[in-house]
Amino acid sequence: MNCRCPILISALLLSSAAAARGAVTPDPAVLAAEAQRAAAISKASAATVAVFDSAGAGGGSAVLISPDGFAVTNFHVTSPCGAAMKCGLNDGKLYDAVIVGIDPVGDVALIQLLGRDDFPVAEIADSDAVRVGDWCFAAGNPFLLADDFTPTITYGLVSGVHRYQYPAGTLLEYTDCIQTDAAINPGNSGGPLFDAEGRLIGINGRGSFEKRGRVNVGVGYAISINQVMRFVPMLKSGRIVDHATLGATVSTEEGGVVVDDILETSDAFRRGLQYGDSIVRFADREITTANALKNVLGVYPSGWRAPLTYRREGQLFSTQVRLMGVHDESELIELVQHEAQQPSEPHPGGPKEEPQEKGPKLPTPGLDGLLKKQKLPAAIVGKYEARRGYANYWYNEQAQQRLWNGYVERSAVARIGYDWKLSGKVETGGAFELTTSPERAELTLPTGHSGAIFTGDLSGQLSPPRSGGLLLAINAWQRFVDKGLRRFGEIYYLGKLPHGPDNRVEDCLVGYFDGMETRFFFAENGDLSGLELFAADDADPCEISFSDFKEFAGRRLPGRWLIRHAEQPFAELVVETWDMDGVSTDAPLQDGAN
């Protein structure tokens, strides 16, 4: 007798018994998990974008992050598209979209879909909380399969975190990535990586592919959403944004990460970092290898400030450093021009894992020229302006005007003039008096009297000593209010950067006159919250942080000024009287509304 018969008979009897009792009910926990997963995918799919170039020959993916249509994708997806592209959502509708800003080093671009102000958006998660083994899913448009704009979903695990990928080609460097085995194929580029709850944790962009073809092998990389969201306010400036560097080269040696070389023009050098020092911590992360430092640096834009701890001869030193750009402006523009001319693939995906050889340098018409040749849809024309150094200058101009209008309306500073006389007390004791005019300024402090003349060469007018040019900074503020956006000198919107002793992240306008740079910072309520004057590119700025706003002579002005230079306090002034243009306030008034 066949030995399988008793087993088969038993199985049939059990099956018959089960049938007699009715269908087996699935475990409620399994059904609940399935329903939760389906709901998360449904929610996430609504914010996933299928991106197509205007010719319909290529494309990729993106994800919406705000109801007014701002969406994040890869630079290598938008680069072949130029200024305009078509974007589809799973509502079956196709929308016009325009380029806003680009981060070519980090392979990120910001676009804006047009036609609605109530777009579905992704819920943003904290990608630093992602752990190996977490469930995740990718959504996107692999191989441009989404003819009805419904994204393809692939499910998997987080296989690794804080991955570093060396630059591919001329620019793209993936730092601090999330690695996943959820299938990421050509066309998924720029699309979202979600956690199991449907929250956005990364932007897919790079994959490892089988060498004989563009076939996914289960290793994909997503740019962490924390990095992306730190760059988004910079990208809204319409600029070509660069990544940060310490201005130093390091190597992994026994005992730590050692500085091999450092630029004397870097802020890190001015803060004390020297050749042979060991970097212990940076931006609140422990640094154990050179790649670990590159990983952390890569999540910050040029100009950011971050804490640094280093060791020298067994002693630890901690400071704040202002990070410089990886490239100078002209170098970055040239590299972007080169990338913009590369032919797009019919089914684009991420760059190959292995670095590509850099081709010969070719004469180019420039990025602006390439974009001007593109015939823009009517919906795009009013939201695009080509200018060297910008992906779309129109957005920069809009931000400038928004900040200026908010400041002037809230503070009523029109026609404030140059003739000021302020008096009050110094927080550490004693009194101060400040007098200004269009040509000169004088400041009396308990420590002495100083002055500055605003005619001729201004680079030497850095009084008082050890302030970095306080009187010149006040004159720059007066000039900004008097001349406005168009006559101050060159002005542009930088984005959002940390400033002040508490590293508040706020909107920043940059202005140049007489070869000097002034940064004006604005709080969300429209107040001018601070300014920084750089007398030279390689010098520490004079930093003024404003608070305790009061009404002086009918204007909303700061009653407390904290002045810092070289990361050290110079003075804190409490303003009690502020006379201007013959209008006097002889006593401090009550605090104004915040």
From CA 261, how far away is CA 287, in angstroms rounded? 17
Once rounded to an integer, what is the mean pLDDT over residues 242-249?
94
From CA 113, how far away is CA 275, in angstroms rounded? 48
From CA 106, how far away is CA 165, in angstroms rounded? 11
- For residue 575, give Cα distances in angstroms to 250, 306, 429, 432, 464: 47, 31, 13, 9, 18
User: Which positions are catalytic?
Assistant: 76, 107, 189
* pLDDT above 80: residue 386: yes
Once rounded to an integer, what is the mean pLDDT over residues 367-377?
57
pLDDT tens-place string over residues 538-567: 889 999 999 999 999 899 999 999 999 999
pLDDT of res. 366: 38
Which domains, and CATH codes, for the chain?
A: 40-235 (2.40.10.120), 245-325 (2.30.42.10), 397-580 (2.50.20)
Q: 498: cis peptide before it, omega within 30°?
A: no
Report the half-sphere exposure of 402 (CA within 13 A, side-chain side): 16
From CA 59, how far away is CA 140, in angstroms rounded? 11
Do 310 and 317 touch, CB atoms closer than 8 A? Answer: yes
Question: Degrees (nearest 5) of the Cα angle 337, 341, 342?
Answer: 120
Do 51 and 205 touch, CB atoms closer than 8 A? Answer: no
* pLDDT above 60: residue 368: no
Q: Quickly list DSSP for 144-180.
A: G--TTSPPEEEEEEEEEEEEEEEEETTTEEEEEEEEE
Do β-strands 440-445 and 448-453 pair in parallel, antiparallel, or remain unpaired? antiparallel
From CA 149, how far away is CA 178, in angstroms rounded? 26
pLDDT of res. 254: 83
pLDDT of res. 355: 30
Once rounded to an integer, what is the mean pLDDT over residues 36-47?
92
Band (pLDDT 50/70/90 cuts) for residue 27 is: confident
Once rounded to an integer, what is the mean pLDDT over residues 345-363?
33
pLDDT tens-place string over residues 194-224: 999 999 999 998 765 555 455 566 788 999 9
For the four alpha carbons of 353, 355, 356 and 362, in that order, the dihedral sign comes to: positive
* pLDDT above 60: residue 13: no
Whole-model pTM? 0.87
**Among 440, 506, 450, residue whose Cα is nearest residue 478:** 440
| DSSP classification of residue 334 | H
* Lowest mean pLDDT across 50-59, 80-89, 230-239, 392-401: 50-59
Residues whose CB falls within 8 Å of the CB of residue 463, separated by 6 or more in sequence, listed in order: 443, 450, 451, 452, 469, 470, 471
Do β-strands 568-580 and 555-565 pair in parallel, antiparallel, or remain unpaired? antiparallel
* pLDDT above 50: residue 432: yes
Once rounded to an integer, what is the mean pLDDT over residues 155-159?
95
* Lowest mean pLDDT across 20-24, 254-258, 300-304: 20-24
Mean pLDDT, the chain, rounded, equals 86
- For residue 116, give Cα distances in angstroms to 112, 113, 354, 395: 10, 8, 41, 18
In this structure, what token pair is assigned to residue 457? Answer: 């060469």
pLDDT of res. 373: 54
pLDDT of res. 263: 95
- For residue 129, give Cα distances in angstroms to 126, 162, 225, 228, 307: 6, 11, 11, 15, 21
pLDDT of res. 537: 82
* Lowest mean pLDDT across 96-105, 168-177, 329-338: 168-177
